[in-house]
A and B are shown apart, each in its own frame.
Chain A
Amino acid sequence: MAYTGGPMTEAMYYVLLALMRPNHGYQLMQAIMEVSNGRVNMGPGTLYGVLSRMEKDGLISLAENDGRRKIYEITVEGEKALRTEYDRLQALIKDSAILDLGDGDE
């Protein structure tokens, strides 16, 4: 399914986030682990699936391919999508402020 700007899956979001610095498959898994503070431990199958899908959708592209390793980077379009999603998540958090005010009287 081509990405049309709706809410992203968690896997997509973290891969884009981690690809703010170009990286290749195995290290990308580590990077996602780090960037999520160990919360997201993405399996290689899931990562591979997300990478090939987002490459097709133009959200990421190949920065380098030395034959053995493919190094991916985020595209302009991908960064735009990531920032849109970030804003959406921000809005979600902002709207959830109600939860911090106790019983939600306001």
Chain B
Amino acid sequence: MNKTIYKLRPSDFWRIGEHESWFADLAAEGLFLRKMGIHFAKFEKGEPKNMRYRIEVSISKKISADQIEMYSETGWAYVTSYGSFHVFSSPAELEAPELHTDPAEQSYTLKELDRKLAFNSGAVIIGMILMIGMLGSIWFLDGTPTLVLVDGIAVQQTILAIFLAYTAYNSLQATLSIRDLRKRLAEGIPIDHHASWKKKHTLHTTVAFVFTVLVGLSAIIPFFQLMKMDTKTLPEKNVDLPIVRLADVENNPDLVRAESAYLDDGVDWGNRYSYDWSPLAPVQYEADETGLVPGKLWDDKSGEYSPGISTQYYQLRIPSMADNLISDLIERYRYEHTQAEYEEKNHPDLDHLVVRVEDSMNEVYASKGNAVMYVRYFVYADVDLVIENVAKKITIIPD
């Protein structure tokens, strides 16, 4: 039984001379090329032998039978193809005539590949520009890049964009290299069949590894997020979560839960808490709660008093992002308010505290260590009571 061995190719597919000498070096060690994949080449173990390898380029994926026939009559056996590249081999002692005796003529054989690669890289570059434009609008249109990063909504797109940029760079490299090779051939400079492949090896291996990991992650992360994501109806009794409850700030024994305005999948979205995950904020909570005090009216008599409170909580992987996240949260929920309406405050138990107080809608932004909390409330409650609750709840670290 012949033993099969797989090896990571040492350089990019368009480096013809480097591949030819790599195949020959391995044959001298007893490894004979059988098949070539995108990243790996398959070899069969045998007796070490001096072999010559030549790569022929033709735009069609399949090399024509009469080309194979003509080459075999002169001692060159067809081995395998990868894309437009077709590998032939011949034992050195056979002294088969060189496949190409006229570099200028050989340069013509690269013409169509050159055109195809140029078209491809043009397409990939346009794709990349569109992708970057789209990402840019997600990231920067409303000026909250940290929030976008922490929310994790653009993680996959970002990885995809990096991958696309790499692909664009790669295909541009391929186009330029083949164009350069054509030019040199046209000038009569033949391909160096013994080009050194070792210098590119480490670089190529590293890049291939990094991108395999990145692409793998970009596939896994959305599934992971989906798995972790969950929304439940908020229980009426106290829960051990980093959220501020209506009952905490509204000291009124008559307070009852408001009738649900929106029910979906058995979840009361007016009284819910959601859990979310992202690489940079592995613990995220979002909660909404609405109540009602029967018989009590709003001060302006506009209707029955129905307080509401919402909390957003982020536990960050990188604590130094907390301040930026607070500014981004303010920016995201600022609406028509001016920056002047936000007041920085000091609190012994909080690292950072920003408050905006108005009659109907009040907001508290706070951070402590790696935790960031944003509370928006529509309650007749003293702001200091809300801040105390934030300071107390922000230290609850859920798993």
Contacts and interface: CB of A to CB of B under 8 A. Distances in A.
Interface residues of B, number: 22
Contacts of B100: 43, 45-46, 49
A6 to B, nearest CB: 14
Contacts of A69: 66, 69
A41 interface: yes
A45 B54 contact: yes
B71 A45 contact: yes
Contact of A43 (B67, B99, B111): B99
The residue in A29, A41, A47, A53 that gathers the most chain B C-beta atoms within 10 A of its C-beta is: A47
B106 A44 contact: no
Given A43-B97, A45-B54, A9 B74 contact: no
B77 to A, nearest CB: 12
A25 interface: yes
B74 A44 contact: yes
A103 interface: no
Contacts of A48: 67, 70-71
B70 A10 contact: no
A95 to B, nearest CB: 24
Contacts of A46: 99-102, 105-106
Contact of A44 (B76, B108, B109): B76
A10 B357 CA distance: 89
B106 A49 contact: yes
* Main secondary structure on A side of the interface with B: helix
Given A1-B108, A29-B74, A44 B66 contact: no
A29 B101 CA distance: 12
A3 to B, nearest CB: 11
A41 B69 contact: no
A50 B97 CA distance: 17
A80 interface: no
A20 interface: no
A70 interface: yes
A44 B105 contact: no
Interface string A88-100: 0000000000000
B217 to A, nearest CB: 44
Contacts of B97: 41, 43-44
B66 A43 contact: no
Contacts of B74: 26, 29, 43-44
A23 B289 CA distance: 89
Interface of B: 54, 56, 66-67, 69-71, 73-74, 76, 97-102, 104-106, 108-109, 111
Given A11-B102, A43-B74, A45-B101, 11 more contacts: A10-B102, A25-B69, A29-B74, A42-B102, A43-B97, A43-B102, A45-B98, A48-B67, A48-B71, A69-B66, A70-B66
